[in-house]
Amino acid sequence: MDSDSDNEHTVLCEKIINDMHTVFLKDTELSSFEIIPTVLNRNKSPVIHVEHNLGLESWCAKHVYDHAHRMLMGYKKQTVQRYVQQSEQLLKYLNVALLINPDVTAFWHIRRQLVQKNRLKMNRELKFSTLVLSKKPKSNEAFAYRRWLYSFQSNDAIDWHHEIGICERCADRSSSNYHAWSHRQWVLHNAPMLIRAEIMRSEKFMRKHISDYSSYHYRQILITFAYQMSFYETDQLHQLHDLKQLINYYLIAEVQCPAQILNIMLPGVDQAAIGEARLKSFLYCCNLAAHDMRLCDDQKNMYGERESFELHRRASLKFIVEQCVRLLSGDLMGIYSPPATPVQQQQFNTHLRKFDYNSYEFLRALKKSESLLGSKHRKWCSLFLGFDFESGAA
Amino acid sequence: MDFASFAKPTNSDANSPTTDDSKTEELHFWKHVEYIENHGKDQDDYEYCMTEFLRMSGIYWGVTALDIMNQLERLDRNSIIEFIKRCQCPTTGGFAPCEGHDPHILYTLSAVQILCIYDALEQIDCEAVVKYVMSLQQHDGSFFGDRWGEVDTRFSFCAVAILTLLKKDLATTIDVEKAVQFVMSCCNQTDGGFGSKPGAESHAGLIYCCVGFLSLTHRLHLLDVDKLGWWLCERQLPSGGLNGRPEKLPDVCYSWWVLASLTIMGRLHWISADKLKQFILSCQDNETGGFADRTGNLPDIFHTLFGIGALSLLGFEGLKAINATLCMPQYVMDRLEIKPQILERP
């Protein structure tokens, strides 16, 4: 390339980047970015802006990226103190470069430096990272940047519902989206008041995306977290429909009220020592797990066998069995709450292997019933729940 | 400076061993060698510019794959070492993926791995690297990837791998107990697997990092081998290929991560090796060389290393042995006298 055409090329790239920047300045409500497949330069601006959607024609993406990349690397050769002062220029190139290639951590780092020097506004940055996620819903860099930005805000100033909405959109657009679901866990742990809404939303998602196992895993974490937080909904405790059905299925016994359920699932425990909140949460969360077991069975009948149905049913079963065992042996182990450390978890696993399921009517019936679901399931039960099928009722 | 200048001009294989078709009749050995050698020769390639942010790892993938194929001399050792030296950050001691980028523990491990293969650790400031790794450990035992504070079990693996390769005593450089505790807190009780953070979904790549971490810290007894082994075996699909998580498609790179984890756990025999070999070989690009993630897709250097590495673990003839924990040629481990823990086959 001779110097004239080189120069022409640079001017063209600058023009396109300026066009994009104008859109950024004009429209603070941009909601999506896409590179639009086009083969030829049609001799008009390749920057397309329609109803808060921004597009760049693909023929120029390479050139524009190369140019922005070269310019940014040039700025980076200066000291941080110097280049952060040119924030307007930097931002122009950063926006374009990161929208085209969101994986370049060095470019995200420049934004962080600009934020630290108060050269960029928090809200604009959150919006920008959302825009990146509209193009690449799996971008861990964008999620990590959001977490970093939020670290400067107080917990109650953050719109956590909005954050869940972003996770949901990204998960919806890209199946088994590891980073979106990890981010959602982070949101949940920071905003436990979302538990109730999340219980409804996560089921909806699982029903809509039957093979997105990441959503099932999130649901497992959610139920465990709800139990850790002793969460329950009072109006649900009168019904416990799914838990009653599960008990009826295993024991062929009609149960009516929560007190009866507790007597069947946790015979002889010191209810006062465990505490009312934990017991209520036990009933509520076990009902959720029973609901999920039923959901998996129903889905299997409708769609045929799937790994996600099988794995989630197992995880839900494991939840119920473990919480029963924990409360039944809590006075022995000195803990009623779920294990907090890996060492406690190991101790509990050892305990599970030695636990005498046959001494408890409900667990004995559960064990017997589960043993009828095939040799692989039996093997899983003995490995993960410590069921000993050689002895006793089964 | 880039990968292009690392490749020596192709010669006519005058001093290379001739292809032994009877041994590797299904593996397009020389096409892969050529693919890796030519990787990045076209500097104007858009892909090449787009992947600059992981160049150091790209070089590690190419160098390791070629060494496993006994063709390391095709790359120019000196220019690679010079490139690595320019990527060490004078302030932190960590390595950037490429000049102009920022240091990160991922690329620091890649740099150290390449230098170990070339037996050239004396060319860099190793003490600065040790300080960098130490500076990234947090109070809960976890590691940041760089100064911006993301935590991931991958970084725990990188930290102990770097210190091990630099022959540093882990006990006097980092808080090993806490590091172990953090990794174990990322173990999922529902399947025995590991995720990137506490509570995160089990993922074969991260399982490899955590199992590798426990292998380097000699804590494999903490693993529940039966549970984790079950989950790893369930990754094998009817095509013979392995996926990285339930309900996902098979991918050649998981051949490495699942297989290496099972090898460390002494349970390689739990999956069907023949079917996996067929799957991996079906992902070769018969024309350009290189391996793709799945049959019929475009090849890349990342999947090429993990395809070759998995074949080596399966004992494929004509390939050098590879160390499952560090994903480096075994002879390099022997030279450095590094012996990560592995469990006996029961």
Which residues 60-99 on chain A approach chain B with CB closer than 8 angstroms?
62, 65-66, 69, 73, 76-77
In-domain check, residue B23: no
Cβ-Cβ contacts under 8 Å, A341 against chain B: 181, 185
pLDDT for position A256: 81
Higher pLDDT, A73 or B2: A73
What global pTM score does this model have?
0.94
In-domain check, residue B113: yes
In-domain check, residue B18: no
pLDDT for position A95: 97
Q: Do A101 and B185 touch (CB under 8 A)?
A: no
Q: Do B101 and A314 touch (CB under 8 A)?
A: no
With a cut of 70, say whether residue A370 has pLDDT above it.
Answer: yes
Q: How many structural domains is chain B composed of?
A: 1
pLDDT for position B343: 97
What's B209-247 look like in SS3?
Answer: HHHHHHHHCCCHHHCCHHHHHHHHHCCECCCCCECCCCC
pLDDT for position B9: 42
pLDDT for position B50: 87
Tens digit of each residue's pLDDT, chain B (346 residues): 344 444 444 433 333 344 443 333 489 999 999 999 998 777 667 788 888 999 999 999 999 999 999 999 999 999 999 999 999 999 999 999 999 999 999 999 999 999 999 999 999 999 999 999 999 999 999 999 999 999 999 999 999 999 999 999 999 999 999 999 999 999 999 999 999 999 999 999 999 999 999 999 999 999 999 999 999 999 999 999 999 999 999 999 999 999 999 999 999 999 999 999 999 999 999 999 999 999 999 999 999 999 999 999 999 999 999 999 999 999 999 999 999 999 999 8
pLDDT for position B309: 98
Q: How far is A1 from chain B (nearest CA, A)?
A: 12
Specify the long-range contacts of residues B245-249, CB closer than 8 Å, at least 24 apart: B245/A176, B245/A178, B245/A213, B245/A214, B245/B201, B245/B202, B245/B203, B245/B204, B246/A213, B246/A307, B246/A308, B246/A311, B247/A176, B247/A211, B247/A212, B247/A213, B247/A306, B247/A307, B247/A308, B248/A176, B249/B294
pLDDT for position A13: 95
**Mean pLDDT over residues A228-247, rounded?**
94
Q: How far is A29 from chain B (nearest CA, A)?
A: 28
In-domain check, residue B8: no
Could you tell me if A148 lies within 8 Å of chain B, comparing CB atoms? yes
In-domain check, residue B35: no
Q: Do A106 and B100 touch (CB under 8 A)?
A: yes
Q: Pick from A112, A308, A318: which is nearest to B190 by CB?
A: A318
Q: How far is B122 from chain A (nearest CA, A)?
A: 28
In-domain check, residue B115: yes
With a cut of 80, say whether residue A362 has pLDDT above it.
Answer: yes
Q: How far is B191 from chain A (nearest CA, A)?
A: 8
Q: How confident is the model at residue A254 (pLDDT cuts 50, 70, 90)?
A: confident
By residue range, what is the domain housing residue B326? 52-336
In-domain check, residue B189: yes
pLDDT in tens, A37-67: 988 777 788 999 999 999 999 999 999 999 9
Q: Pick from A106, A182, A218: which is nearest to B196 by CB?
A: A182
pLDDT in tens, A195-212: 999 999 999 999 999 999
CATH number at residue B137: 1.50.10.20
Q: What is the dihedral of CA A194, A195, A197, A202, to 10 degrees?
A: 120
pLDDT for position B115: 98
Could you tell me if B203 lies within 8 Å of chain A, comparing CB atoms? yes
In-domain check, residue B98: yes
Cβ-Cβ contacts under 8 Å, A176 against chain B: 245, 247-248
Could you tell me if B245 lies within 8 Å of chain A, comparing CB atoms? yes
Q: Nearest Cα to B163, choosing from B121, B192, B123, B203?
A: B121
Q: Do B247 and A182 touch (CB under 8 A)?
A: no
Specify the long-range contacts of residues B185-190, CB closer than 8 Å, at least 24 apart: B185/A341, B185/A342, B186/B153, B186/B210, B187/A342, B187/A345, B189/A318, B189/A345, B189/A349, B190/A220, B190/A311, B190/A314, B190/A315, B190/A318, B190/A384
Q: How confident is the model at residue A255 (pLDDT cuts 50, 70, 90)?
A: confident
